[in-house]
Amino acid sequence: MKIIKNILVEGKHKKPIVTDVFYKETHQPKKIIIFCHGYKGFKDWGAWNLMATAFASAGFFFIKFNFSYNGGTPKQPIDFPDLEAFGNNNYTKELDDLESILDWISTNTDFKKEANSHCISIIGHSRGGGIVTIKTAEDSRIKNLISLASVCDFGSRSSTIGDLENWKKTGVKYVLNGRTKQLMPHFYQFYTNFKENEERLNIKKSAQKIKVPHLIIHGDSDASISVEEGKKIHSWNPKSTLKIIKNADHVFNVSHPWKKDKMSKELAAVTKICIDFITKS
């Protein structure tokens, strides 16, 4: 197994995109999978490394990365040492980062013998599920779409609603990270960026445009994003496949840090469903 961690990919917003690749070195081009983390997430969260290894073991070229403004840094890609960056993140920056990763792997000569840039699938978890749905509707390089515990609407999230008058006046509002106990800022630019790009950031309209194979996976015990959101996405793209995982929470029953050497049975089931889906597509 070849694992290369913390590659710095140049982004469009003056911050590098910290990226990992996992693959078996066979000198045969493999289908590429790009994984996008969610809100208050990062590429090394929980059992994502175990999931990446499982995909690579199954014969895929697996890429995961930190969004450039997710709050991590190249020296400390885990957790949120750079809250200033976190506060300046927004949906269009994340879409730009994903495009930068697509451009990078499509033109990278270092992995030419191992990665088939003509066969790219993308997976997004939670907020990342919305990002990958929008990008798939925009970019013909993406051949398969998988959303895990995905949001169905950005406009109704806490980061775009609330006391707008006070948010505008103070320029910032805070969200408590229950695990790290950090007060994580959202600067008012998040709201203005959303309003300026509201048409583009419509997940429903994007889902309705999807022509490639689309897999939607959601846990029936998800307390963060209801399984009803997954069902809505499925209704907007009736050709999609919906899989509901019994007794699974928002992160498929893993947590951070994850000290075990195996994924939860729920995340293992999710991974197998994804592998089968992309293999057959």
Domains assigned to the chain: 2-154+200-280 (3.40.50.1820)
**pLDDT for residue 116:** 98
Tell me the sheet residues that pair with 145. Answer: 122, 214
Tens place of pLDDT per residue across the chain (281 aa): 999 999 999 999 999 999 999 999 999 999 999 999 999 999 999 999 999 999 999 999 999 999 999 999 999 999 999 999 999 999 999 999 999 999 999 999 999 999 999 999 999 999 999 999 999 999 999 999 999 999 999 998 877 777 899 999 999 999 999 999 999 999 999 999 999 999 999 999 999 999 999 999 999 999 999 999 999 999 999 999 999 999 999 999 999 999 999 999 999 999 999 999 999 98
pTM: predicted TM-score of the whole model, two decimal places = 0.98
**What is the sign of the dihedral through the CA atoms of 259, 260, 261 and 265?**
negative
**pLDDT for residue 56:** 98
**Which residues make Cβ contacts (< 8 Å) with residue 135, sequence separation at least 6?**
95, 98, 99, 102, 122, 142
Q: Report d(CA 258, CA 164) in Å as an integer.
A: 37
**pLDDT for residue 159:** 75
Q: Report d(CA 267, CA 89) in Å as an integer.
A: 28
**pLDDT for residue 63:** 98
**pLDDT for residue 247:** 98
